[in-house]
Amino acid sequence: MTKKSVSIIDYGLGNLFSVKQACISVGLDPIITSNSIEILKSDMVILPGVGAFGFAMENLRKTNLDKTLKTFAQSGKPFIGICLGMQLMLSESVEFGIHKGLNIIPGKTKKFKNEIDEKSTYYPVPQIQWNTLKKSDSIPQNNIFDFIKTGDYMYFVHSFYCLPEDDDTVIATTKYAGVEYPSIIQSNNCIGIQFHPEKSGLKGIEIYKKLKLLK
């Protein structure tokens, strides 16, 4: 059986090698690349990322990867954005100014506020911790995330969260600093994951296994 080829996008930001190792561990065939030809012929794209939205988009535009990724997203093949990669899929961010994103999934990002709740719990920004998922009631049957249960823990590192325009894209949410925000979104072949599945134990690796089922 031929392994699915995966292009992990190299644009100068992100934990590329841990994503690659997670792909290898579940039987995918990944490469780390910034080559448009390789990207467009691959079966799947993963856009990881850790860092500033504006700097990331600048790097993507310098190499015309923004256009390549938009073209790939329109191909119908699986496009996965992880952490900053999920945010880059949206229309814009307000991180250190207003920056236009890839606009693959309409929406924007917003920053967490440092909060102290009624129990005097302090919520530092960025969120760097394990946190739970709340599964959406409207998740489609046979969706690759249907194995997720409310209360499952995943590992998060981020200061901004996503607000897609279409609530029906939300597969799961997470609560932090008084905000319940989307932690998994999906619009057709395009999926955004705010946490790091490759750092989230067996449940996170299960997501990589499920990616093999996408067509």
Instruction: Show me where the domains of the chain are located.
Output: 5-211
| Bridge partners (DSSP) listed for residue 103 | none
pLDDT at position 140 is 74
Residue 127 and residue 104 in contact, taking contact as beta carbons nearer than 8 Å? no
Of 56, 65, 124, nearest to 93 by C-alpha is 56
Map residue 135 onto helix, strand or coil: strand
Report the alpha-carbon distance of residue 51 to residue 18 in Å, rounded: 16
Catalytic one among 23, 162, 190, 198? 198
Catalytic one among 23, 95, 196, 206? 196
Mean pLDDT, consecutive 10-residue stretches, the chain (215 aa), reads 90 88 96 96 95 91 96 96 96 88 96 68 87 89 87 96 95 94 96 96 94 85
Sequential DSSP letters for 187-208: ETTEEEESS-GGGSHHHHHHHH
pLDDT at position 65 is 97
pLDDT at position 49 is 87
pLDDT at position 128 is 94
In the annotation, is 198 catalytic? yes
Report the alpha-carbon distance of residue 186 to residue 66 in Å, rounded: 19
Sequential DSSP letters for 53-107: HHHHHHHHHHTTHHHHHHHHHTTTS-EEEETHHHHHTSSEE-TTS-EE---SS-E
Residue 9 and residue 45 in contact, taking contact as beta carbons nearer than 8 Å? yes
pTM higher than 0.85, yes or no?
yes
In the annotation, is 83 catalytic? yes
Catalytic one among 23, 83, 162, 190? 83
Q: 5-211: CATH homologous superfamily?
A: Class I glutamine amidotransferase (GATase) domain (3.40.50.880)
In the annotation, is 99 catalytic? no
**Side chain identity, residue 29:** D
